[in-house]
Chains A and B, each alone.
Chain A
Amino acid sequence: MSENSTSENSHPKKRVDGWAAPVSRLNADSVPGDVTNINVTGRHITTALQGFGQMWQKTYRIRFEGAHPDPREVVRVWKEEFPSFWPKGNYFYSKGGPMQPGDVAVLNLSGPGGINAPGGKPLISTGILVVYADDDSFSFVTPEGHILAGMNTFSAYEENGAVYAQVQALIRASDPLYEILFRLGLGNKMEDDFWMETIKNLATRFGANGTRTLTRVCVDSGVQWSKAKNIWHNAAIRTTLHHIASPVRWVLRKVGGK
């Protein structure tokens, strides 16, 4: 049989390993105590293999115009200032510093159109685990209960004299409820708006405008019915229940003298 190869360029640099150490369950106890942190600690991580819905590969890309930063500088700044590029109303809590392999972060997210729970509380509290980071890219995976089961990879590169930054997501909706949101278009809109605005803000940070593109490829059109039980961990449901129960917790704290 024949041999397949590619050798676009030699790669003289020594590769520094960028992988996190294996973890069986996540621990987000190091994030500040005043955030809604209920759906991360104790959860397993998930990739697209553990999700329920159709599997998609989405690539959000921006071509920098008006500036030509070193792609590695773009990745360095992206790792260092990651949440600052997010759309307003979404919060990222970690131990601080640049994204590093093994970092666990708690996310407090708003819903479609930036809606929050009463009192300005997040609609969804979830998290991420940084599984990989090097000079050229970094990736995170999601915990059980997150809207999407999968991996997002963030990178920057130069092609035909232009600098590009991109987010590539390999994902499935985690459970049937989230899948319905995606089939209705709400989930896709929420996710697409989020990352398209993020890459625009990243380019702006470097004084660039940019042409943005989104490509979607359906990798698997089927759903994994064996994963329907993932709904048990649904972070949106659990966050809502957490908010509803907050007066009860307040009373119990008073009664308990805490």
Chain B
Amino acid sequence: MNQTQVKIPVRKASASACVLDIHGEINSAAEPVLMEAYNQACAAGSRFVLINFTDLEYMNSSGIGLLVTLLIRARRQGQKLMAFGLNEHYSQIFELTRLNEAILIFDSEADALKAIA
């Protein structure tokens, strides 16, 4: 299978929001790590899950598939999925795959938290 190196620490950003800081590559092998990070955000009672792509090294099409699956899970839980820190290239990938129509995208964490408040 694909091999990857990814770390996704989870931190509380506000009473209702958690941030998943992605460090590394998002491909099919990242699934257990990403889902575990999401589960931690759920356990913390977050209504808003913010994904920080600032330190994303690479994402392939399987990675986009993981984000789609995560988005559906979040919707089922009544949560909102948000993203920030996307560089121009990955902003274009979100546009190409129409993820930008389903995930709220912000330039920075501060902008995302301001929108939540």
A interface list, Cβ under 8 A from B: 1-11, 15, 17-23, 44-50, 55, 57, 131-132, 134, 136-139, 141, 151, 153, 155, 157, 159, 168, 170, 219-220
Chain B: CB-nearest residue to A220: B72
B69 — which chain A residues lie within 8 A by C-beta?
Answer: 57, 170, 219
CB under 8 Å from chain A, chain B span 61-111: 61-62, 64-65, 68-69, 71-72, 76, 89, 92-93, 95-99, 101-102
Instruction: From the candidates A2, A8, A153, A170, name the one contacting B4 in the complex (CB within 8 A).
Output: A8
Which chain A residue has the least Cβ–Cβ distance from B58?
A15
Partner among A45, A134, A137 whose Cβ is within 8 Å of the Cβ of B98: A45
- How far apart sit A4 and B3, CA to CA, in the bound complex (Å)? 16
Whether B92 pairs with A22 at a CB distance below 8 angstroms is: yes
Indicate if B113 sits at the interface (CB-CB under 8 A). no
Known A2-B10, A170-B65; contact A9-B3, beta-carbon cutoff 8 A:
yes
Secondary structure at the B interface, as helix, strand, loop or mixed, is helix
* Contact with A49, one of B34, B44, B99 (Cβ below 8 angstroms): B99
Number of A-B contacts (CB under 8 A): 124
Closest chain A residue to B69 by CB distance?
Answer: A219
B21 smallest CB distance to A (angstroms): 9
In the bound complex, what is the Cα–Cα distance between A131 and B97 (angstroms)?
8
CB neighbours (8 Å) of B65 from chain A are: 57, 151, 153, 168, 170
- The reply to whether B92 and A4 form a contact with Cβ atoms under 8 Å apart is no
A19 to B60, CA, bound (A): 8
CA distance A159 to B28 in the complex (A): 14
Cβ-defined contact, B4 with A50, below 8 A: no
**B6 and A5 form a contact (CB under 8 A):** yes
What's the Cα separation between A23 and B98 when bound, in Å? 10
Across the interface, do B30 and A6 meet the contact criterion of CB distance under 8 Å? yes
Distance in Å from the Cβ of B96 to the closest Cβ of chain A? 4
> What are 28 A-B residue pairs whose CB atoms fall within 8 Å in the complex?
A1-B11, A3-B8, A4-B7, A4-B34, A6-B5, A6-B32, A6-B33, A8-B5, A19-B89, A19-B93, A21-B92, A22-B93, A22-B95, A23-B96, A44-B98, A45-B96, A46-B98, A49-B68, A57-B65, A131-B97, A136-B60, A137-B60, A137-B61, A155-B62, A157-B2, A159-B1, A219-B69, A220-B76
* Docked complex Cα distance between A101 and B62 (Å): 15
Cβ contact within 8 Å between A8 and B29: yes
